[in-house]
Chains A and B, each alone.
Chain A
Amino acid sequence: MNAYRMAAGVVLTGALCLGTEAVIYACPICFQIEDAHATSGIRAGVGVLMGVTGVVLVGFARFATRLIRHQ
């Protein structure tokens, strides 16, 4: 029964691949397209988040250093 279902799935997928004419758009981030808008956007977003996280972590590190010094 399972082999029958698997074979049906393969046939259906193959038929869909051959029968459809739609253009498939690749994700620019997954395919590492450097000059795409989405890639630049992700870079900017991650950069801002890392900057903000870095500032908060530096604050915590400075506080921890102060606590250790005053122990």
Chain B
Amino acid sequence: MIIPYTTDRRADTGVTNVTMGMWLFIASEVMLFGALFSAYALLSVSAIDWPSGRQTLSLPLGAVNTIVLIQVTAIAWHARRSTAIKARRWLMTASAFALAFLGLKSLEYVHEFSAGLRPATNTFLAMYFTLTGLHALHVIAGIAANVWAIAGAARVGEAMMAGRTRALALYWVFVDIVWLIIFGLMYLL
């Protein structure tokens, strides 16, 4: 069965259908993370004593991870203006950086667990593991989407690959913005 589709920019929406779908998906994701940030604000302001993330977590590891994730977004953003073959290479590089981000995050988790910092330790750590864990799941989903786009690049043609790369670039920008908010709230405050 072939589902009819168009890769052209629509006159009424001003964007392609793929980009439109990605914007709607991002809107729903903003509400998901918004609810968790709201819970974080409620719990941290309500608490009489709230631990300092700067003293509890590893700021150097968090800072390096921030740089790595910004690289992922920069590479994915660059890929959207490339040809299908070049975009494939850029997406492979972005995926490698995203894997490095996950590796560093896992290392950070191991350090925290070995130091006795667990979700049950206090409310701050419960929020930290919830937010960073959910964010890491989004990074894994992004890598899976990158691999899917890379695998289909030769088959789907130039126009469709460009649409997919544009949508992926938008997604990585969103994942990066969420991380920057988490980094600011958890590691710097």
Residues in B lying within 8 Å of A, measured CB to CB: 11-14, 23, 27, 30-31, 34-35, 37-39, 41-48
- Considering the chains assembled together, what is the distance between the CA atoms of A42 and B31 in angstroms? 18
Residues of A within 8 A of B14 (CB): 66, 70
Q: Which residues 23-71 of A have a CB within 8 angstroms of B?
A: 37-38, 40-49, 52-53, 55-56, 59-60, 63, 66-67, 70-71
Contact A48 B41 (CB under 8 A): yes
- Closest 10 pairs (CB-CB, A-B): A41-B46, A45-B42, A52-B34, A49-B38, A44-B45, A41-B45, A44-B41, A48-B38, A48-B41, A70-B12
- Number of residues from A at the complex interface, CB < 8 A: 23
| Least Cβ–Cβ distance between A16 and chain B, in angstroms | 30
Is chain B's binding surface mostly helix, strand, loop or mixed? helix
Given contacts A41-B46, A66-B13, A66-B14, contact A56 B39 (CB under 8 A): no
With known contacts A37-B48, A52-B37, A71-B12, A44–B31 Cβ distance under 8 A: no
Give the CA-CA distance A41 to B43 in the complex, in Å.
Answer: 6
Q: Given A37-B45, A37-B47, A70-B12, do A45 and B31 touch, yes or no (CB 8 Å)?
A: no
Which residues of the partner chain B approach A55 to less than 8 Å between Cβ atoms?
30
Given contacts A49-B34, A55-B30, contact A40 B12 (CB under 8 A): no
* Complex: A60 Cα to B45 Cα, angstroms: 31
